[in-house]
Structure 1
Amino acid sequence: MTLSAATLPGIWASRMWTGKAVTYEIAIRFKLSVQLAIMATLVAVIIAIPLGAISAIKQDTWVDYSVRTFSIAGIAMPSFWLGIIIILGLLIGSQKFFGDPWMPPIYYVSPFKDFWGNMSQLIWPAVATGYRYSAVVARMTRSALLEVLREDYIRTARAKGMLEKIIINRHALKNSMLPVLTIVGIEFAFLIGGLVVTEQVFNLNGLGRLFVESVGAQDFNLTQQLVMLVVVAAVLTNLVVDLVYAWLDPRIRYG
């Protein structure tokens, strides 16, 4: 039996125990997981790239040590523990200052229907996930930028009297983004289906939680299609990363 013969019929299959269509179950959770992955990636990139660049520029100063401490703490700190701390802080803070405890929507709310309700549900899981993610990206940004700053063409630009700001922004930072982009792509593909614990802590019905439920219930039709979906997401993410490579570095050409 070929791979397509084994997997494609499952797209139109039903769940073994509930009888609901597999595509229906996945579609409901897919929107939440993709939005959460995008938001966590944005949080990580917005925080990590500036911090990593500053850390490389201010190497071996208190700024560099502070950013490296931030990164080490983020890598060592489990995202679910940070999520629990955020929930406790929101519950205590909202009850103290507003009189009512913070309660996010129970079910997923589309941002097109209720933007603020959607943000209140997903922004804090995105922060909890994005913090650890940003720690990895910041370390990679620092290492890549330090390597580029030691290149001959950077020394030549400085010898010609070019402003340091222009050297960093136009040459060094752009050329150091290739390894950073690789990490961002790998992490994004993981986030789509790998946020099982975070979804459990914040009571989110995403793909990660659905995957655990399908394995526990021995629902092979659903499990099979979830695995295929994550694989396709990883392949598409790598394709996008490769295309962005060519934009960042004109020397890269695909035949």
Structure 2
Amino acid sequence: MSAPSNAEPPAGQTLQPHGTLTEYYESKDKKRDFVQRIFDGTAVDYDRIERILAFGSGPWYRRQALQRAGLRAGAQVLDVGTGTGLVAHEALKLIGPQGSVVGVDPSPGMMGQAHLPGVELLQGFAEAIPRPDASADFLSMGYALRHLGDVRPAFAEFHRTLKPGGRLLILEITRPRSRFGMALLKGYMRLVVPTIARFVCKGTDTPLLWRYYWDTIEACIAPDAVVQALKDAGFTDVKRYVELGIFSEFTATKPQA
């Protein structure tokens, strides 16, 4: 596996969320195919393993994060990287019957596991969102930043699809600062969770997915680079809130016209 740099390249250049992880795919051009294949192939197990990973606290935390980011009743929500709909499910509880949610994800397999009555699900990528300009009041992305091909065009698309004054929330797991925290989290996510997956899951690639999940966390660009890229995309009021030392919430606002 290559040793990626966490430094941000100059503005205008490609900003990959992490370097090429050759243990999983040969080159950055092969990443998209690998990511879609592994998520399609493990979709049936995803929610089960997520509950194990988060000790069942995921729904509560996602709902709290959405509230902290300013999601309110009646909002039109665009959930990018919606997957099996874990973030969208909590958004529905907050926006009520006057609101709406559209989910976008490259993986038909993942969206096929979503149980979201009334939610429009579209196949697409964060770098080219199949939605009109200024069509959402609130845009969310849950734990998918590391799977992007290029952060900058994705953030430009987030800016394009949000209405002026619209709010953004990106949820991500980021590296703990302490060596002990790193060792503990790495052991749990790269060894314990994949081992459990072998016994409780149907997909043969599910243990591989969760090893990959950790490796992308370990290799991901620094949170400061994410904050700067959001500012470069035209967002204001860009902030990062951290829960339990690892759960990062990046929030921002599209300025009023």
**Fold conserved between structures, TM > 0.5:** no
Q: Which protein is bigger by CA-based radius of gyration?
A: 1
The TM tier, using the shorter chain, reads: under 0.3
Structure with greater strand share of residues: 2
Q: TM-score, normalised by structure 1?
A: 0.24
